[in-house]
Amino acid sequence: MNCLTCGAKMKTQKKDVPYTACGLSHVTLRNIEVSRCSQCGEEEITIPRIEALHQTIAQALIAKPSRLNAEEIRYLRKYLDWSEADFAAHMGTTRETVMRWEKAQAHMGAQADRLLRLMIATKGPVRDYSLATLRAISTQELPRVFHLGLTVEHEEWQAEAA
């Protein structure tokens, strides 16, 4: 792989990298490919299966044996793909309260903590439902018939567009 900045050859190594880009300060991705340019120092990180990763993080957070903190609440809200207002409506509170939770200005109550965990737990595993897919759907086009084939394999349903 060549450096996108200067074009020099990059050297790839496996490393543990902090994943602060997801908004959580204490998440480390282990054994991740990091390419570094020997000329300019540019680094490129390859994160495989990012949606599955985000799902795994969410599942791990709801198994956390202590209350969810501000950045975890924010992460989970975004994982559910809700705005502060959407989240407030689902939680039966106000947008202002959600903002206070996410800025660590107020603690989320025990019931709200459990409700948020439950919403994550009942959110099914989402595959192939990326923003890229959503953006690709034309808003002008009329709906078309969608043939779907479903097969059970190892007691898990697999869907396939036919």
- Contacting residues toward Zn ion, per CB under 5 A: 3, 5-6, 8, 37, 39-40, 42
Residue 71 near residue 116 (C-beta atoms within 8 A): no
Residue 48 near residue 14 (C-beta atoms within 8 A): no
Q: Which is nearer to Zn ion, 43 or 96 (CB)?
A: 43
> Residue 151 CB, nearest distance to Zn ion (Å)?
47
> Residue 7 CB, nearest distance to Zn ion (Å)?
7
Q: Copy the structure tokens of residue 19.
A: 């994943």
Q: At a CB cut-off of 8 Å and minimum separation 6, what does 91 contact?
A: 98, 112, 115, 116
Q: Which is nearer to Zn ion, 42 or 84 (CB)?
A: 42
Q: Copy the structure tokens of residue 97.
A: 């309260």
Q: At a CB cut-off of 8 Å and minimum separation 6, what does 24 contact?
A: 57, 71, 72, 75
d(CA 63, CA 20): 20
Residue 158 near residue 151 (C-beta atoms within 8 A): yes
Q: Which is nearer to Zn ion, 37 or 61 (CB)?
A: 37
Distance between the two ends of the chain, CA-based, in angstroms?
A: 37
> Residue 48 CB, nearest distance to Zn ion (Å)?
23
> Residue 3 CB, nearest distance to Zn ion (Å)?
3
Q: Which is nearer to Zn ion, 25 or 38 (CB)?
A: 38
Q: Which is nearer to Zn ion, 1 or 40 (CB)?
A: 40
> Residue 9 CB, nearest distance to Zn ion (Å)?
9
